[in-house]
Amino acid sequence: MSTSKISAAILPPATLGLLGGGQLGRFFVGAAHELGYRVTVLDPDPHSPAGKIADEHIVAVYEDKAALERLTQTCAAVTTEFENVPAAALSYLAKFIPVRPSAEAVAICQNRSAEKRFLKLNGFPHAPYADIVRATDLDAVGANLLPGILKAARFGYDGKGQVRVANLDDARLAFAQFNGEPCVLERLMPLECELSVVLARDSSGAVQCFPVAQNQHRHGILDITTVPADVAASLQTKAKEIAEGIAQKMHYIGTMAVEFFVVAGELFVNEMAPRPHNSGHYTIDACITNQYEQQVRALCNLPLGDASAHSAAVMVNLLGDLWYIRDAHHSHEPDWHKLLSVPNLKLHLYGKHHARPGRKMGHFTVIGNDVDEIRQLVLAIRRQLGLEDG
């Protein structure tokens, strides 16, 4: 692909391709439509949230040759909404049209072992770890990694594919349960809090970082995101510097997220996501340019927008459990009036066809000037919905 082709802006009404049809893709489609683009979604789920609102939805697996050829023939560029799209599919598409982020960057982020190796080789702070490819690898594990967390190297998200282990016997049992899948054993860190930085980087290397978010998880799934984060300004600056450094080392183009643990006042990179992020949902309502518009801009070689926040914000995930609060055996639509009655609350439902416990069905964000006041309001709203305090 020539340099001139790479650097040329892709302007509306061009068609953009998207691999993946979940809620992150749905927001991408909306952002692209607002800017005047058409979008073709490739996703095997005929009910995918993004596919429902796309101009075209190709219902096929990501490696389907005919589907990939359809994208190369009709799309000006392609991106992805989740990291488990096969890197081989991205590599194939990149032979014909721009693919951002690159297959190489996605491959690093979709494999925990490759991700840890990238962090280690480039000097970014991370928790001590060991690759566990076979059971005998556990024999060489030092005491400094226990207690720890054994994580499958592939296809882990929202707390799935990981088990806490107190000792080597636990680790051996957990590894056996992964049926020989390569794993990473990571030391269990005494967390003070968790942070994330969502940023966008364009093809010229320009970067825009969104404000640092502070995150709380419940059962391994993001529960609440608060902006601004309640940590020292110097720590927030350092987090942005590390995230930007990671993007530069990867030659990343697009929107990405870097998650951090804060331990004894120090930052440790937990994970990278080569896409917009759940903890960046607040940018839709609280920032001048949201993370999805940035994804479109980076993909199309447009100048990045201003990532500054105009409001403080608290975002709350709405899981399928909410549909079963009144009846554990049958789903019931929640009383949305309780949310829609709050003037500074923004409700976003993803259009998923079936609610089930643990499934992300939507979120709401409350914005304002005082983050402490917002937080108290959010806790009151959660109690009205029957949710536990965050």
Q: CATH number, domain at 315?
A: 3.30.470.20
pLDDT on residue 160? 66
Give bridge partners of residue 105 from the DSSP assignment.
none
| 86 secondary structure, DSSP code | -
Mean pLDDT of 104-131: 96
Say which residues have a Cβ less than 8 Å from residue 122's Cβ, sequence separation at least 6: 245, 246, 249
pLDDT on residue 4? 35
In terms of pLDDT, which residue wins out, 164 or 179?
164
Burial class (CB in 10 A: 0-12, 13-18, 19+), 377: middle
Residues 68 and 136 in one domain: no
Beta strands in 242-357 (DSSP E): 254-263, 266-273, 312-319, 345-349
Which amino acid, residue 23?
A: Q
Confidence of residue 2 (pLDDT cuts 50, 70, 90): very low
pLDDT at 117 over 90: yes
Asked whether residue 224 is assigned to any structural domain, the reply reads: yes
Domains contained in the chain, number:
3
Report d(CA 23, CA 34) in Å as an integer.
17
323 token code pair:
């549909």
Q: State the pTM of this model.
A: 0.94
Domain residues for 141? 128-187
| Model pLDDT for residues 33-78, shown as the tens digit of each residue | 999 999 999 999 999 999 999 999 999 999 999 999 999 999 999 9
Pair 257, 276: CB distance under 8 Å: yes
- CATH value at residue 175: 3.30.1490.20
- For 273, phi then psi, to 5°, come to -125, 120
Residues 155 and 11 in one domain: no
Confidence of residue 157 (pLDDT cuts 50, 70, 90): low
Mean pLDDT of 311-319: 98
- For 387, phi then psi, to 5°, come to -90, 155
Neighbours of 214 (CB within 10 A): 21
- Convert 103-172 into a string of H (helix), E (strand) and C (coil): HHHHHHHCEHHHHHHHHHHCCCCECCEEEECCHHHHHHCCHHHCCEEEEECECCCCCCCEEEECCHHHHH
pLDDT on residue 326? 84
Confidence of residue 1 (pLDDT cuts 50, 70, 90): very low
Percent of the chain with pLDDT over 90: 89
45 token code pair:
């789920």
- The CA distances from residue 318 to 242, 335, 350, 359, in Å, are 30, 13, 10, 8
pLDDT at 339 over 50: yes
Pair 114, 107: CB distance under 8 Å: yes
Residues 224 and 342 in one domain: yes
Mean pLDDT of 280-308: 98
Report d(CA 180, CA 25) in Å as an integer.
32
Asked whether residue 104 is assigned to any structural domain, the reply reads: no
Mean pLDDT of 113-138: 96
Asked whether residue 120 is assigned to any structural domain, the reply reads: no
Asked whether residue 200 is assigned to any structural domain, the reply reads: yes
Residues 275 and 232 in one domain: yes
Q: State which of 165, 187, 209 marks the end of a domain.
A: 187
Residues 249 and 290 in one domain: yes
Residues 375 and 243 in one domain: yes
Report d(CA 53, CA 106) in Å as an integer.
25
According to DSSP H, which parts of the chain are helical?
3-7, 23-34, 49-53, 65-74, 87-94, 103-109, 112-121, 168-177, 233-250, 283-286, 291-299, 337-340, 371-385
Mean pLDDT of 207-228: 96
Report d(CA 28, CA 21) in Å as an integer.
10
Asked whether residue 342 is assigned to any structural domain, the reply reads: yes
pLDDT on residue 348? 98
Run of H or E residues at 207: strand 207-209
Pair 218, 390: CB distance under 8 Å: yes
Pair 238, 232: CB distance under 8 Å: no
Residues 219 and 170 in one domain: no
